[in-house]
């Protein structure tokens, strides 16, 4: 009996020491390569950056406060949204040019490293919300150049509030993106550029490929089936492969595909950032269309929208 107690006490002791160790060391600084990327004041570069930040790459969808989003404002990237996860709460940073509470005092290199390697301005590895790592030098340059033109908004966003499980995960599992393949692309309407757009610029794969609870890809690329339980309905990402019977766009001509994007949001609660994608240029939509049609057809019936019954207006007693 005494011996069991002793073993038990030792185990508790080890666990406590481990937790104290995690508490003090969970934030790890990482050295990542220098990108050498510098912001430009060229107006075409800034305009392309704006197209990416507020459109195709939809940075606004996370970095704009929800209350602003309800007003359909995509600027000013002031942060403040809270992502509640089983690992604790992540507070989305302010990426306006404010010097004290935003990115005003971060160097171009710090911003470029955040986008390419997923380390924040202090060198800490960030949780994998962003996966723009293979973006070309030109596109990262454009994004940073646009961010430099944003109106500074003072909004002090608190640090993430992680629980012990979150801290253990950050300490041992969260790493910067190390194996980065920088893309070299020629923007045009080919399937090849569409592939770059779908995986990197627009991150279509992050929702249109099925993932498990830890965010790992488990489905066939772009065959849809990833689900969301939203207040108004259950949503599922559509199968974008050209399967004759289950592919959502299999019978859409290129023009129908383009018009679907021009129409923007049709389902109020859909997680897809349609407001940004609505602005994708014809050329880029043509490239996406060619790319999706070049994929292997995958049979996967995706029921994208199942509305929930509305709450009765008068409660029944």
Residues that bind ligand HEC (CB under 6 A): 53, 57-59, 61-63, 90, 92-93, 95, 111, 114-115, 120-121, 126-127, 129-130, 132, 143, 202-204, 206-208, 235, 237-238, 240, 248-249, 260, 267, 270-272, 277, 288, 304-305
Minimum distance of ligand HEC from residue 172's CB (angstroms): 15
Closer residue to ligand HEC, CB minimum distance, 13 or 264: 264
**Cβ 71 to ligand HEC, closest distance in Å?**
19
> Structure tokens of 218?
């488990």
- Nearest CB to ligand HEC, comparing residues 30 and 305: 305
CB 135 within 8 A of CB 115: yes
**Minimum distance from residue 233 beta carbon to ligand HEC (Å):** 9
Nearer to ligand HEC, 13 or 159 (CB): 159
Q: How far is the CB of 140 from ligand HEC (least distance, A)?
A: 9
Both tokens assigned to 239? 């199968």
**Cβ proximity to ligand HEC, 121 vs 171, nearer residue:** 121
Closest CA to 295 of 263, 235, 248, 255: 248
Quote the least distance from Cβ 44 to ligand HEC, whole Å: 18
Residue 35 Cα distances to 45, 110, 112, 144, angstroms: 18, 9, 7, 13
- Cβ neighbours of residue 202 closer than 8 Å, sequence gap 6 or more: 56, 57, 58, 277, 280, 288
CA-based torsion, 211, 128, 52, 83: positive or negative:
positive
- CB 117 to ligand HEC: min, Å: 11
Q: What distances in angstroms separate CA 131 from CA 64, 73, 198, 313, one per listed residue? A: 18, 24, 12, 43
Q: Which is nearer to ligand HEC, 58 or 195 (CB)?
A: 58
Nearer to ligand HEC, 288 or 295 (CB): 288
Three-state DSSP class for 161?
strand
């Amino acid at each position: 009996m005494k011996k069991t107690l002793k073993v038990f006490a030792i185990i508790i002791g080890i666990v406590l020491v481990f937790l104290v160790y995690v508490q003090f060391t969970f934030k790890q600084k990482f050295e990542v390569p220098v990108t050498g990327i510098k912001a430009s004041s060229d107006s075409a570069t800034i305009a392309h950056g704006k197209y990416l930040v507020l459109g195709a790459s939809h940075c606004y969808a996370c970095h704009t406060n929800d209350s602003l989003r309800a007003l359909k404002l995509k600027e000013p990237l002031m942060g403040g949204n809270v992502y509640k996860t089983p690992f604790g709460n992540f507070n989305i940073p302010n990426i306006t040019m404010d010097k004290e509470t935003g990115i005003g005092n971060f160097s171009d290199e710090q911003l470029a490293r955040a986008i390419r390697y997923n380390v924040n301005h202090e060198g800490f590895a960030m949780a994998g919300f962003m996966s723009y790592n293979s973006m070309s030098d030109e596109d990262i340059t454009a994004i940073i150049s646009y961010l430099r033109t944003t109106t500074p908004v003072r909004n002090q966003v608190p640090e993430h509030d992680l629980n012990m499980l979150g801290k253990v995960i950050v300490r041992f599992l969260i790493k910067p993106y190390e194996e980065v393949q920088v893309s070299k692309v020629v923007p045009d309407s080919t399937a090849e550029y569409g592939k770059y757009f779908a995986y990197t610029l627009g991150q279509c794969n992050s929702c249109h490929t099925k993932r498990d609870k830890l965010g790992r890809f488990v489905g066939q690329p772009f065959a849809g089936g990833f689900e969301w339980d939203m207040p108004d309905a259950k949503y599922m990402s559509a199968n974008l492969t050209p399967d004759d019977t289950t592919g959502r766009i299999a019978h859409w001509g290129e023009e129908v595909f383009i018009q679907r994007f021009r129409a923007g949001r049709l389902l109020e609660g859909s997680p897809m950032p349609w407001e940004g994608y609505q602005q994708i240029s014809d050329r880029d939509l043509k490239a996406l269309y060619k790319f999706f049609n070049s994929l292997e057809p995958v049979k996967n019936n995706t029921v994208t929208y199942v509305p929930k019954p509305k709450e009765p207006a008068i409660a029944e007693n």
